[in-house]
Every structure is written in structure tokens, then in C-alpha cells.
Amino acid sequence: MTAEPETLGGLDIRRIMAALPHRYPFLLVDRVVSMVPKTSIHAVKAVSMNEPFFQGHFPGRPIMPGVLIVEALAQAAGILAVESMGLAGSGKLVYFMGIEGAKFRAPVEPGCLLDLNVEFTQLCGAVCKFSGKASIAGKLCAARRRERRPAEGLTAFTSPLRRRGWRKRIPCFPALPTLRAALPNLPGRSETGQSRSRVP
């Protein structure tokens, strides 16, 4: 008989911060309710009116941006990946590689408890695939599929860049100006990094 995966109890904010490099104001997971390594995780985000993004999104009608709901799901997936692969405390990071089929069903407003449910769908080498759903009191708010990959550091991971049918592997740097400086000969940019009027 195959042993059932062990279900871990909840993780407090200290364990979450040990697994993720994110910090205020971009740490979007407050607590892990339960987790089954290499299988699934249930985490929560308490959405408060004090969130900084509510100042501009939108004045008089505060709604959590959809991209941040996806980011919260991504962070929950990151915790699952780190704990499943035994990377906690190793200093290694887990990167967001791609997203498929994200859909938003209902607005997320201040005062709610956002449930983040993420499941492993595939583990291929160093690349993990997940599916996730964000909900409030059982009502679906957002759903998506996504990929993550662990890496030693910010310059250790390469990602494919596609443009008009061509593909090239480039270093993934933390800052856009650095990335531009590393790619002076991209189509659409001159040797000095200035934009061209037309792409040949």
C-alpha cells in the first residue's frame, strides 16, 4: 500500500518569511492553514483597508488589483515548492516562470479573508507546475495555472524571450535598466540601447 502524504499543520508568519524573500508591502500571504508537501497548500491573505495599493486602486471604490491576487497565489505556490523541495533556509529562490488561463470572477474588497488554494500539477526536474484558486467564503474570485523554478540567485536563472518568431535565452536580472544594459542588440534597439523607429 502507498502511504498517504503527511499533512502539515499551519505555518505562522515567521515560517512564511523563512520560506519567502518577500517583505512588506509585498508579502501577500499571512498564514498557511494546511499543507501537504508535493501536493497542495491552503493559505490565507487578510485584506485590510490599510493595504497601500488601495490608495490608488480605486479612490472611493477600493478593489484589490487582479495581478496582486495572482501574486498572492504565486507566493502560496512558492511556499509549497520551497517546503516540498527542502529549500527552506538554503538561501535559494523560487521564480515565477509563466502563467496560463488566469480568470477573475469577483472583486476582492477590504475586510475579507482571501483563501488561496494551490495544488501541484506537475514536477519536471527543477520546474514545478501548479493550479490555484482564490476565493472568499467559498466564492471563486480568481483561478490560474502557473510555473515556478528554483534557482541559486538572481543571475542563475534564464528565461526564454519570444518576439516575432525568434527566441533567445537571456539572463534574468532584478532591475529593468540592468536588463536593458545587458541586451543592447535586441531588435528594436540600437547599439546604444535607444529605440529604433522600425524593427527590420
User: 158 and 147: one domain?
Assistant: no
User: 44 and 95: one domain?
Assistant: yes
**What pLDDT is recorded for position 67?**
94
Q: Which residue has the higher pLDDT, 75 or 174?
A: 75
User: 60 and 133: one domain?
Assistant: yes
Place of cell 534597439: 189
**What pLDDT is recorded for position 9?**
75
Q: Which residue has the higher pLDDT, 37 or 199?
A: 37
**What pLDDT is recorded for position 147?**
63
What is the rounded average pLDDT of the residues 181-195? 45
User: 35 and 132: one domain?
Assistant: yes
pLDDT band at residue 180 under the 50/70/90 scheme: very low
- Give the residue numbers spanning the domain of 193: 154-200
Each residue of 135-170: pLDDT tens digit?
999 999 998 766 666 544 322 222 333 334 333 333
What DSSP assignment string belongs to 5-22?
PPPB--B-HHHHHHH---
User: 44 and 99: one domain?
Assistant: yes
Query: Does residue 39 contact residue 120 with C-beta atoms inside 8 Å?
Result: yes
Whole-number Å distance between alpha carbons of 129 and 145: 7
Q: Whole-angstrom distance between the N-terminal and C-terminal Cα of the chain?
A: 62
DSSP-assigned beta bridge partners for residue 162? 167
Q: Which of 57, 92, 133, 145 is the catalytic position?
A: 57
Each residue of 94-111: pLDDT tens digit?
888 888 889 999 999 999
**Domain tally, the chain:** 2
Phi-psi category of 87—alpha, beta or left, where left has phi over 0 and alpha has psi -120 to 50? alpha
**What pLDDT is recorded for position 34?**
97
- 3 domain residue, yes or no: no
- 109 domain residue, yes or no: yes
Question: What does each C-alpha distance from 195 to 185, 190, 191 come to in angstroms?
Answer: 11, 6, 10
Q: What is the CATH number of the domain that holds 115?
A: 3.10.129.10
Summary count for the chain: helices (H), strands (E): 3, 8
- Of 153, 170, 189, the position where a domain reaches its end is 153
User: 146 and 188: one domain?
Assistant: no
| Percent of the chain's residues with pLDDT above 70 | 69
Q: Is 22 a catalytic residue?
A: no
User: 164 and 111: one domain?
Assistant: no
Give the helix/strand (H/E) hosting 83.
helix 66-84
